[in-house]
Amino acid sequence: MKISLLAIGDELLKGETQDLNLYWLGKFLRTVGHQLKTSVFCGDSIEQINNSIDNLITNQSPDLIIISGGLGPTIDDVTKKSLSKLLGETLEESEKAKSMVEEHYQRFGKKWSPELNFYHLIPKSVTPINNPTGLAPGLFSTYKNTSIICAPGVPKEFKTMVKEFFHGHYREKINPQTDRLYIKTRGVPEEKIFNEIAPKLWGELSNFGRVSSYPRLTGIDILIDQIDSDNIEKIKDLPSVKLLTPYTWQVGNQSLEEFIINKLKEKGLTVATAESCTGGLVASGLTDVSGSSEVFIGGIVSYSNDIKMDELEVSPIDIEKYGAVSEEVVKQMAKGVREKYDVDISVSTSGIAGPGGGSTEKPVGTIAVGVSFKSGSFSKIYQLRNEGRKKTKNRFVACALLSLLNFIEKIDQ
């Protein structure tokens, strides 16, 4: 089934609001056996909305158009008026829509009256859709043999309405028979993977499904989509996939944090963190994983040098001699937190996230990572791309987690 998204809102085009519905919808449709083919953005204008719908139907021939936004009570919410003009029908009072609105208001302990808004007025041929988490009903219609569902732009309402629509009205179209698989690599660029290490990789994978390649913070993720679940083991055994083994940290669908937590459980290991430049983001990512409490013991955000010295027993002489962002300091940080919490392995970070604080020797984007375990310690300085403070910190986190994973894999059970 061909599905398109039309996202409506001046605030989206102005960059005042980030569209989260596109990201969610793409992921959700895969769970019901479909894929989003097209996404279009337009402003709060009847002309723009209707032109966008006509263009989608003419150029993309979708079976379903999902529209987000423009169903609220304010003057710029014109989706319903657009649909009315598109269908050549006036807005009329709908008993079904009226009943829905009353129930929606009652759910919030409120009483609805027609003077508040026009939620009960819809084109005659349009069917109102229940809004499980909001007030305004959604709309379902058919135009030029294309189904159209209109949902609120608020992500929570959009998600619940689309889910309910597919599992109710479109239940017979759910077809989650295909699967997907990632080959997740580290430390090797895209062109080297496909042109030097495994030049036949793309062709071999294409025999099983649709292939895509995505640069991530952790490295290059190669996705094989719409594959038969029975073929997953065959893909893992492909000659080209095996050529990538030295650079591959996972052939599967887990996040890096989830993969690390499961590896720790598998080996019966515990972990702790000591963070400076990442400010607790490494610990936060690990504890986002359900069941992480079995292996994650605790962490220290040692942002100041005093905390490094007092809580982690880092030598003040080494801080003075080498600087806080140094192999010597992060090695002591990692050892300090490992011994303090009596864990099997630990990871530490200290870096320069910017925009200030860098130098010629240690520019913004520099991070020192330390890993400590009972049989030894490791530390290294990395020069990462500076993409602004927040993104640079996220790169630091990925670097630290990959370093941690590298040593978890080396520890014998």
CA distance 138 to 114: 17
Per-residue pLDDT at 413? 58
Q: What is the CA radius of gyration of the chain?
A: 27
Per-residue pLDDT at 173? 75
Residue type, 198: A
Per-residue pLDDT at 177? 60
Per-residue pLDDT at 412? 77
Task: Please state the domain extents for the chain.
Answer: 2-173, 178-252, 256-410
Fold that domain 2-173 belongs to in CATH = Molybdenum Cofactor Biosythetic Enzyme; Chain A (3.40.980)
Per-residue pLDDT at 179? 83
Per-residue pLDDT at 105? 95
Per-residue pLDDT at 197? 98
Low-confidence ranges of the chain (pLDDT < 70): 175-178, 413
Per-residue pLDDT at 70? 95
Q: DSSP letter string over 347-407?
A: EEEEE--SSSS--SSS-TTEEEEEEEETTEEEEEEEE-----HHHHHHHHHHHHHHHHHHH
Tokens for 119? 């939620």
Q: What is the pLDDT of residues 165-181, one digit of tens each?
A: 998 887 777 766 668 89
Contacting residues for 395 by C-beta, under 8 A, at least 6 apart:
217, 365, 367, 384, 385, 387
**Identical fold between 2-173 and 256-410:** no
Q: Candidates 3.10.450.50, 1.25.40.10, 3.30.70.2860, 2.60.40.10; correct CATH number of 178-252?
A: 3.30.70.2860
Which CATH class name applies to 256-410? alpha beta
